[in-house]
């Protein structure tokens, strides 16, 4: 058994003992539900080291003491440091093809009475998923004269702010057709960045939200995207989360999850349509 006070490596910039890693893991679970397994140890070091450095502290134990005594001020930065925000426009493109070819045409008919559409991008990162949905809406000729809203939420307050600004490095649109880029983005004067055009920005509403806490919105949503989020949670947390998602969807509502995720053994409230697309059945 390893000594809890053992240091990861003598040549590290800061000291992080096994006890420090255990404290970080417990706090990550407590604050966000994220499970930090042993193989995440180097990632944890590199990310929390940024906060140790920024606060001009000497070791991880100093930082953890600071976090406990300054919870209100530091907890958000602690969570932001640990969360991963890998994203791109039209990531897992088959989901957007399904929206355009099958789901949006059906919803145009099914929601004709209310003339309303509600979509939630949960774990939205820097907003590219939400704007991909918005572009797909436009390309499918969905009637945007309807009451259409895309809620985009994330645990990380920094990425939520990026999504709200909708400004991205120009290379982030490299994988999008040139015609689509011209149609939906404005380039900066220096050509180094792009901004999503206002007609799409007004469809997306960005909010910080911890999925494990109380949700202020009432629902229901027609569609929920929660892709590559639950891979960080244990099975019991996943069960609770997907049950809450089901409560936010009507019968027949759709849930999209990530390519490495599935609902097998987690919930029986959805049927699998293939390609990590699920429909609520109860």
Phi, psi (rounded to 5 degrees) for 36: -105, 95
Residue tagged active-site, from 20, 154, 156, 222: 154
Please work out, in degrees rounded to the nearest 5, the angle formed at the alpha carbon of residue 202 by the alpha carbons of 199 and 204: 120
Cis peptide before 220 (omega within 30 of 0): yes
What does the chain come to in residues? 282
* Helix spans in the chain (H): 18-32, 41-54, 60-69, 71-82, 94-98, 104-110, 128-139, 157-165, 178-184, 198-201, 235-248
CA atoms 25, 255, 225, 241: torsion sign: negative
Q: What is the 3-state secondary structure (H, E, C) of 99-149?
A: HHHHHHHHHHHHCCCCCEEEEEEECCCCCHHHHHHHHHHHHCCCCCCCEEE
187 is catalytic: no
Q: Kindly give, in sequence order, each residue whose CB lies less than 8 Å from that of residue 33, ignoring residues fewer than 6 positions away.
A: 211, 212, 232, 233, 234, 237
50 is catalytic: no
Q: Kindly give, in sequence order, each residue whose CB lies less than 8 Å from that of residue 216, ignoring residues fewer than 6 positions away.
A: 209
Lookup: tokens for 104:
């949006």
Q: Closest Cα partner for 269 from 259, 250, 257?
A: 250
End-to-end CA distance of the chain: 47
Residue tagged active-site, from 47, 208, 239, 279: 47
Which positions are annotated as active-site residues?
A: 47, 154
């Amino acid at each position: 058994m390893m000594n809890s006070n053992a240091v990861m490596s003598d040549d590290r910039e800061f000291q992080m003992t096994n006890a420090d890693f255990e404290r970080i893991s417990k706090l990550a679970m407590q604050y966000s539900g994220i499970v930090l397994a042993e193989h995440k140890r180097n990632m944890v070091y590199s990310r929390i080291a940024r906060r140790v450095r920024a606060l001009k502290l000497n070791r991880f134990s100093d930082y953890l003491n600071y976090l406990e005594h300054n919870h209100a001020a530091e907890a958000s930065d602690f969570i932001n440091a640990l969360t991963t925000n890998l994203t791109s426009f039209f990531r897992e493109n088959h989901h957007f093809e399904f929206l355009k070819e099958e789901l949006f045409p059906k919803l145009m008919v099914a929601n004709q009475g209310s003339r309303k559409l509600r979509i939630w991008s949960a774990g939205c990162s820097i907003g590219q998923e939400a704007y991909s949905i918005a572009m797909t809406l436009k390309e499918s000729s969905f009637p945007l004269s309807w009451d259409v809203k895309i809620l985009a939420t994330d645990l990380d307050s920094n990425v939520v702010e990026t999504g709200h600004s909708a400004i991205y490095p120009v290379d982030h649109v490299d994988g999008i057709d040139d015609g689509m880029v011209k149609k939906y983005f404005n380039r900066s004067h220096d050509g180094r960045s792009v901004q999503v055009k206002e007609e799409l920005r007004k469809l997306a509403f960005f909010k910080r939200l911890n999925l494990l806490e109380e949700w202020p919105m009432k629902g229901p949503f027609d569609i929920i995207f929660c892709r590559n989020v639950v891979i960080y949670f244990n099975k019991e947390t996943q069960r609770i989360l997907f049950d809450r998602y089901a409560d936010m969807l009507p019968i027949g509502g759709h849930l999209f999850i990530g390519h490495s995720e599935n609902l097998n053994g987690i919930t029986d409230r959805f049927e699998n349509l293939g390609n990590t697309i699920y429909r609520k059945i109860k």
